[in-house]
Structure 1
Amino acid sequence: MSITELLASISLLLLPIFFYLTKSSKSKASSISYPNAPKSYPLIGSSLAIFANKSRRIQWISDLIQNSPSATVVLHRFFLDDSHILTGNPANVQHMLKTQFHNYEKGSKTRRILFDFLGNGIFNINGDSWKFQRKVSSNEFNAKSLRKFVETVVDAELSQRLIPILSTAAANNAVLDLQDILQRFAFDNICKIAFGYDPAYLLPDLPEAEFAKTFDDAVNISSQRFNSVFPYLWKIKKFLNIGSEKRLKEASSQLRQFAKNIIKEKKQELSNKSSLESVDLLSRFLSSGHSDEDFVTDIVISFILAGRDTTSAALTWYFWLLSQNQEVEKEVLREIKEKSESPVYEEVKDMVYTHASLCESMRLYPPVPIDSKVAKHDDVLPDGTVVKKGSRVCYHPYAMGRLEVLWGSDWEKFKPERWLESAADGANKNGKWSFVGRDPYTYPVFQAGPRICLGKDMAFLQMKRVVAGILRRFKVVPVADDGFEPVFIADLTSKMKGGFPVRFKERSD
């Protein structure tokens, strides 16, 4: 151990004790008893249980919520007076995201944790700046833009890059990491539609991309700050510029330089145009009067995070579930063939069963498995949980997708039909389904209320186009032993641990 790391360890022990002894005590965040919550000890709270389950944190918290009568648990962390409230109760979710939206925001602690990575981007800001970014961004998600996105950006990336790579792999019986392929695909797409820039990340030789590793490092380290059993440690490491915090500083600098290069090229492009006949998201911000480089840089990084990691995570788990559920795959193939003569946009827009199967996949494996807000003022949640000012309240889509009270005793089953109603004759003989969505507070995969995901429709169109494009040509076969279960891991977004190695087999029909 180096001298700096030793000093950091000593500081880790002394500083929290100082803060604990000098801070005035506060009342606990809840007066309700949570019999299934892990035991909380003086000073260290539930840190022993948190540390013991750090390798399966999402699954552990999900188990706690599933076993709680109110679907809510309260954890007390190391040397912290405020509590960590975790809920899967839809009434609580609606209360946070809609009814009392004004009282639940990112919070200063959350903003500090993510600031080095996301700065003042839309996912790490409140108030007027958030409203402005959302208003400008919303112009990019109208029907005209969505059609253009599917018919030009996604379709070109699919036909010119993705399908040829998969065809070569099928011909050579080669193994590819589908998670990596989908991330490359999504990265090219978000850069094209949002910034008018093609990074050409998905090429036949699958080039090493330093940017991808750097981006992943920034995501992972930022997430570790949230999940740290010892919440002061990252601040000490940052102050000393050592370990993961040194790497985050380097990664953030590299990402910002990448974003600034895109912005520089876009500014040059705009200066040579007499009018904005083809407007992407970045052009809208640069033409809005808010052209401060740091501000726009934060926006670029935020949209890369949203566009690259969420849809690729959703599709990775979707193809895994299809490989394990042949009847569902047959029904998806039937719909793809039925719609194959339709124009591209109408094809994906009208794929009802495929849409339902994607919803069902994200119920079990949400791209963002947990999200948090901080209370500005004291409050009481609908289930009776008392929330003190400054407490973090997290809603947990991963756990909610596993609650029997919400999804029935067969919640473990991958069952798209739970999202559908059959034809009037009840037999569904002609494959006529109608989609029946769940309210966004029971299924908050895309958030809900004023912060509901702007890119929801775009994400579904992209995913359905990819599903149709791949399954029409190939069968996706995981390279895994029978009985193998991939591991769900979660940073700011979810991933499949170790990637998703597969082979592609050309369909004879």
Structure 2
Amino acid sequence: MRDFLGDGIFNADGDTWKLQRQVSSHEFNTKSLRKFVETAVDSEISGRLVPVMKLAAGDKTHQLDFQDILQRFAFDNICRIAFGYDPAYLSPSLPPEAEKFAVAFQKAIELSRQRFASITPYYWKIKKALNFGSEKQLKIAVDQVREFAKEIINRKKKQLLIQSGHSDEDILSRFLVSGHSDEDFVADIVISFILAGRDTTSAALTWFFWLLSKNPKVEAEIFIEVNKDKSSSSELSSAYDEVKDMVYTHGCLCEAMRLYPPVPVDTKAALNDDVWPDGTVVKKGMRVCYHPYAMGRVEEVWGGDWAEFRPERWLEREEEGGGAGKWKFVGRDSYTYTVFQAGPRICLGKEMAFIQMKRVVAGVLRRFRVVPVVVEGVEPVYVMDFTAKMKGGFPVKIIEREGV
């Protein structure tokens, strides 16, 4: 992964990882999350996502690749919050540089994954040394990605120069202001955050909307929740507070990611020799893989109905005046539900991801129905890349709700 991700947070260990973790953590406090919802997310929903869907709804024959739309949405979001830069990738007048970058980025992911699938590492290493085939394509794609990342960095440097270096409104500014001038290292950080912000939430939402289409009762329950929040919210309550109250939707998202985790497989390496509780011996340097996709399907953990999409496994009713009251969320520990990792490397952006996804769910379902265009009985294929994809995209028709 080094050619693509360099020393970015996913690929780094020790002090390099710790530095990025510490600097980035400032972006995920309550103040930053409020700003994220009320500026980046909501303006992207109202200004771009809703108009695109409204346009599609107006043409009964028009199909949208909803997976692509959600990726574009998430890409704009992560660039705005992490770098203070808006690529406007979801806008109808698509900027050519954003399109070029997105294609190169996806190519770099696919070709990096192929290295893992190679029969022997020597094969791809020989191709890299001779610069031919897939390794030549990877080099071209990575160069294009890095060129785009460095354009973002240079734009930010000029902005900081004008503002006398006082801006710390985003992750990129914080790294530059704190004296990290190595452009390649900062580019690694930019690329890693785009991978984190673009591919994970969009993958989760793609499978979430597919599951909703198969479970109309769940969709109806969410519709009630998002409209109840809207009608009961006062002028003073914020979008951030609204999201906090979407407990049923939160459970639905957790259940969707149990069945279709955005990162289906992850890998660690042992720092020292170890012996696990079951007696398994792990030697220093040994690589260990764990599979959130498989772990979400273990009958001993999730019960005999593990194959069902059942949000209630994450919820219980609070008692209220002798009867059933509001939903209360009941989480699982992070080592049982490993979608966001666990331990020191647990996902920094977990709360931000839930906030973004819940705002999208509310913004879409209040106005539209998302109807998959599939042959009866045919299930979409879950592609286990570094992040999960729906093979061939997610073609849908958009139906505008009456009276909205």
**Do the two structures share a fold, i.e. TM-score over 0.5?**
yes
TM-score range (shorter-chain normalised) is over 0.9
Matches within 5 A, 1:17-36: none
Alignment match, 2:282:
387
1:236 is the counterpart of 2:126: yes
The Cα shift of 1:165 comes to 0.6
Q: Matches of 1:184 and 1:123 in 2, distance apart?
A: 22
Alignment match, 1:149:
36
> Which of 446, 449, 454 is the matching residue for 2:343?
449
The Cα shift of 1:212 comes to 1.0
The Cα shift of 1:167 comes to 0.2
Structure 1 counterpart SS, 2:18: helix
Q: Matches of 1:228 and 1:392 in 2, distance apart?
A: 17
The Cα shift of 1:427 comes to 9.2
> Which of 385, 390, 396 is the matching residue for 1:496?
390
Q: Matches of 2:311 and 2:190 in 1, distance apart?
A: 35
Q: Matches of 1:487 and 1:228 in 2, distance apart?
A: 22
Q: Matches of 1:172 and 1:139 in 2, distance apart?
A: 44
Q: Matches of 2:86 and 2:366 in 1, distance apart?
A: 26
Contact 1:186 1:312 in 2 (8 A): yes
Alignment match, 1:507:
401
Q: Matches of 1:292 and 1:381 in 2, distance apart?
A: 40
1:201 is the counterpart of 2:76: no
Q: Matches of 2:339 and 2:187 in 1, distance apart?
A: 26
Contact 2:88 2:94 in 1 (8 A): no
1:400 is the counterpart of 2:295: yes
1:326 is the counterpart of 2:216: yes
TM-score, normalised by the number of residues in structure 2: 0.95
Alignment match, 1:487:
381
Alignment match, 1:415:
310
1:473 is the counterpart of 2:367: yes
Amino acid at match of 2:114: Q
Structure 2 counterpart SS, 1:503: strand
Structure 1 counterpart SS, 2:186: helix
Matches within 5 A, 1:8-407: 114-173=1-60, 174-204=62-92, 209-274=99-164, 276=166, 279-341=169-231, 342=233, 343-407=238-302
Amino acid at match of 2:348: L
Distance 1:480 1:207, change over 3 A: farther
Q: Matches of 1:151 and 1:456 in 2, distance apart?
A: 18
The Cα shift of 1:225 comes to 1.2
- Paired positions, count: 395
Contact 1:369 1:398 in 2 (8 A): yes
The Cα shift of 1:349 comes to 1.6
Contact 1:422 1:428 in 2 (8 A): no
Q: Matches of 1:206 and 1:471 in 2, distance apart?
A: 25
Contact 1:224 1:491 in 2 (8 A): no
Amino acid at match of 2:303: G
Give 1 or 2 for the bigger CA radius of gyration. 1
Identity rate, percent: 67
Moved more, 119-128 or 233-242: 233-242
Can you list the C-alpha shifts for 1:27-81, whole angstroms capped at 9, x where unaligned?
xxxxxxxxxxxxxxxxxxxxxxxxxxxxxxxxxxxxxxxxxxxxxxxxxxxxxxx
The Cα shift of 1:206 comes to 5.5
Q: Which runs of 5+ in 1 are unaligned?
A: 1-113
The Cα shift of 1:383 comes to 2.1
The Cα shift of 1:276 comes to 2.9
Q: Which runs of 5+ in 2 are unaligned?
A: none
**Deviating 4+ runs (over 2 angstroms):** 204-208, 227-232, 274-278, 425-430
Distance 1:225 1:428, change over 3 A: farther
Distance 1:288 1:207, change over 3 A: closer
